[in-house]
């Protein structure tokens, strides 16, 4: 099935399109190795792939795309790779502004960017501000992100609020925690995609993915295409989401038997 056919298929089927898609963009270095290219080649191609996937999300009707770009654990990589990655992020923030405007994409950063080089912080913040009025897609770039740190920061905030008697311990609930995360005000992801064949979350959106549907592919991120996104969405549409309870279809069937 072609990309256009699959797009028509998922939109005409009558089933819901995921509102929020999260992607762990994995396999850039292995792609470079398999192609006998410098290790940074996969990262560079991966940035181009992200541009196309943003466009594909808009065509499909996805409203939010959250991608794992740089984790807190990535600081353990070689000094050279980190330097190149940070340089690529800066280039992305500057060079993609036109494309983001053209496609009405709002860019947002989740993660602790305060420890990033000041010049990179400046360009990321500038692009976020310049695209803040765009409405067709919200692109969350998770940079220097770690979900455990995110949750820990929320807990520390809550402890401070209780100590200052601004809230009581009894007022602490799931909604309060959600509103203190980097994704505050956003719906949780409906669909998580991870490329490269790995079957783990790698400290990504641990709180937010509680009821998310997972889809894995052996393709490396530089080889990921809109058709793969649409295939993942199609499989998502065929799943029976229960959110910890009985599915709606089963409830309907039970009611018919009563």
Selecting among 74, 134, 149, 203, the annotated active-site residue is: 74
- Both tokens of residue 190? 């409906």
User: How many C-beta atoms surround the C-beta of residue 158 within 10 A?
Assistant: 17
Q: For position 246, what pLDDT does the model report?
A: 58
CA distance 217 to 192: 11
Strand order of the β-sheet with 105-110 is 105-110, 137-145, 64-71, 20-24, 191-194, 213-216
Catalytic entry in 8, 13, 19, 26: 26
Cα 103 from chain centre: 18
Q: What's the pLDDT score for residue 247? A: 57
Averages of pLDDT over runs of 10 residues in the chain (258 residues) are 92 90 97 95 96 97 98 95 95 95 97 96 97 98 98 98 97 98 98 98 98 98 98 95 64 49
Is 74 in the active site? yes
pLDDT at 201: 98
DSSP assignment string, 170-205: GG--HHHHHTTSTTTTSPPPSEEEE-TT--S--SSS
CB atoms within 10 A of CB 106: 19
Q: Which helix (H) or strand (E) holds 87?
A: helix 79-95
pLDDT of residue 244: 72
Structure tokens at 101: 């405007």
185 Cα distance to chain centroid = 15
H/E run at residue 69 = strand 64-71
Predicted local distance difference test score (pLDDT) of residue 254: 44
Domain architecture of the chain: domains with CATH: 3-145+187-236 (3.40.1180.10)
């Amino acid at each position: 099935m072609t990309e256009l056919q699959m797009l028509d298929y998922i939109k005409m089927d009558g089933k819901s399109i995921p509102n929020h898609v999260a992607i762990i963009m994995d396999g850039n270095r292995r792609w470079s190795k398999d192609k006998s290219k410098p290790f940074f080649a996969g990262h560079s191609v991966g940035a181009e792939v992200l541009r196309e996937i943003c466009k594909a999300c808009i065509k499909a009707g996805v409203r939010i795309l959250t991608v794992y770009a740089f984790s807190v654990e990535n600081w353990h990589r070689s000094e050279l790779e980190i330097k190149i990655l940070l340089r690529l992020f800066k280039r992305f923030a500057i060079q993609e502004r036109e494309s983001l405007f053209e496609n009405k994409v709002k860019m947002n950063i989740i993660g602790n960017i305060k420890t990033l080089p000041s010049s990179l912080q400046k360009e990321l913040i500038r692009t976020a501000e310049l695209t803040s009025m765009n409405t067709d897609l919200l692109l969350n770039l998770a940079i220097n992100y770690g979900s455990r740190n995110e949750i820990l920061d929320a807990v520390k905030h809550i402890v401070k609020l209780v100590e200052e008697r601004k809230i009581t311990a009894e007022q602490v609930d799931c909604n309060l925690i959600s509103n203190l995360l980097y994704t505050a005000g956003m719906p949780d992801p409906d669909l998580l995609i991870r490329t490269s064949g790995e079957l783990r979350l790698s400290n990504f959106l641990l709180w937010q993915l509680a009821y998310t549907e997972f889809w894995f592919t052996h393709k490396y991120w530089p080889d990921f295409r809109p058709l793969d996104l649409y295939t993942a969405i199609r499989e998502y549409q065929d799943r029976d989401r229960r959110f910890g309870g009985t599915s709606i279809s089963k409830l309907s069937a039970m009611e018919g038997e009563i």
